[in-house]
Amino acid sequence: MTLESRLKWFVSIGLIMNMVGFLAPAAVLPQILDDWQLSEKAGGLLTGALFGGYALSSPFLSALTDRIDAKRIMLAALIASACAGYGIAYLADGLWSTVGFRVIAGFGLAGYYMPGLKLIADLLEGDRRMRTAAVYPSMFALGGAGPFFVASILDAPADWRWIFVISGHAALIAFVIVALLVPGSPNNTTGSAHVKFHAAFGRAVRNKGVQAYSLAAVGHISEIFSFRSWIIASMIFGISLPINQSFTEWNLPFVAALSTVITVPASVMFARLSMTGDRRKIVAFIALSSASVAVIMAFSIHGSFLTFCLLLMVYGVTTFGDTATLSGGVVMHADAESRGAALAVFSLCGFGGGMVGPIVIGLLIESFGGRLAPDAWSAAYLGLACFALVPALTMGLYSRWLEKS
């Protein structure tokens, strides 16, 4: 097996397994809210806490890859993910203990996702680097589908804690795969070990291309994870309407998982188009399309559940469509000696938005009457449309520097 294939598949498999616990609360959120009698705002905090942990640790962990082997960081991150899963399953007894373990899960994701991309960028060159960098971020969508698939298999009668037990097991299996099958970068192939952290970070922050794609990531990741955090709850509202009683036996976590899986080919396709086309125009097109679909969904959620599910599939594609395109833009614009720091800036901005987004949507739902109020879900999807517009606006503001990208 070639080095490119090993990096593409084994690093991606590790990411997917590491992410089984990533959106686990979203897959069983209604059960958690009912079990602990939590508000929608608390639900947003519970799902968003992981992104807070990610945003806090990612700048340090991603930039650390400019000095030490990224594989070592990835292995430590998988242990953190396993501890977070088992902690919620066996120790959490309410909102704040769960939030604490979700923050640890954020450390686990931060130590794997961008360091994995950095490892790929360090060990591959030219077209091989860009091809693999296009595929790897797209696997994020498959990882996001994992907890929904697990929930669909367990189904409603199962204790919701089992999904976290399984997430802990998955992270440990990923540890073995990465330890045995993924090569490291022992001599730090970028040569950036000699660049001090603050200098590399400052250079990344001043890079206009890194700025553009990092700011775009704020809206992009806010939209993705706000949508994923509340997708099950929104479908439960849909089937509660009198006109949709025939859909009450549907396996909603499976529908949510399907809406995530179908995004992978689209994300890879758009990323590869951006290698030869105008990356900023592709990002703007996807973002505007996503905002348009979200507005349609805001006024369709009160109608046919089948129509709403079809729109979910389309929206899944548009929300994830520019994931690999944005991260690829950062890799392309960053110089070799500050690439880890550039990915740290990208992660900090994006996952900072991912922390705030679910809470904002939760507040909107609560302010407009709660999970069973029609206006609440219209407000929620209009809020998602606002998040979706951010990448398009950013590409316009930075067009002068991105014309050749």
pLDDT band at 363 (very low <50, low <70, confident <90, very high): very high
- pLDDT of the residue at 403: 58
What whole-number percentage of the chain has pLDDT above 70?
A: 93
Q: How far is CA 277 from the centre of its chain?
A: 25
- pLDDT of the residue at 245: 93
The three-point CA angle 274-263-128 to 5° equals 40
The values of phi and psi at residue 146, to 5°, are -50, -55
Instruction: Report the alpha-carbon distance of residue 106 to residue 355 in Å, rounded.
Output: 10
- How many other C-beta atoms can be found within 10 angstroms of the C-beta atom of residue 125? 10
- pLDDT of the residue at 258: 93
Q: Where are the alpha helices (DSSP H) in 321-367?
A: 323-333, 339-367
pLDDT band at 256 (very low <50, low <70, confident <90, very high): very high
pLDDT tops 80 at residue 295: yes
The domain spans of the chain are 3-402
Please check whether residue 92 is in contact with residue 159, taking contact to mean a CB–CB distance below 8 angstroms: no
**What does the pLDDT look like over 67-101, one tens digit per residue?**
888 999 999 999 999 999 999 999 999 999 999 99
Please check whether residue 380 is in contact with residue 311, taking contact to mean a CB–CB distance below 8 angstroms: no
Instruction: Report the candidate in 62, 112, 61 with the shortest Cα–Cα distance to residue 82.
Output: 112
Class of domain 3-402: mainly alpha
- pLDDT of the residue at 380: 97
pLDDT tops 90 at residue 66: no
- How many other C-beta atoms can be found within 10 angstroms of the C-beta atom of residue 246? 10
**What does the pLDDT look like over 103-148, one tens digit per residue?**
999 999 999 988 998 888 888 777 777 677 667 877 887 888 888 9
pLDDT band at 155 (very low <50, low <70, confident <90, very high): low
Buried/exposed code over 312-331 (b: 16+ C-beta within 10 A; e: otherwise): bebbbbbbbbbbbbbbbbbb
Q: How far is CA 230 from the centre of its chain?
A: 14
Return the HEC string of 193-237: HHCCHHHHHHHHHHCHHHHHHHHHHHHHHHHHHHHHHHHHHHHHH
The values of phi and psi at residue 54, to 5°, are -65, -50
**Per this entry, what is the length of the chain?**
405
Instruction: Report the alpha-carbon distance of residue 280 to residue 155 in Å, rounded.
Output: 42
Residue 396's Cβ-count burial label (10 Å; 0-12, 13-18, 19+) is exposed
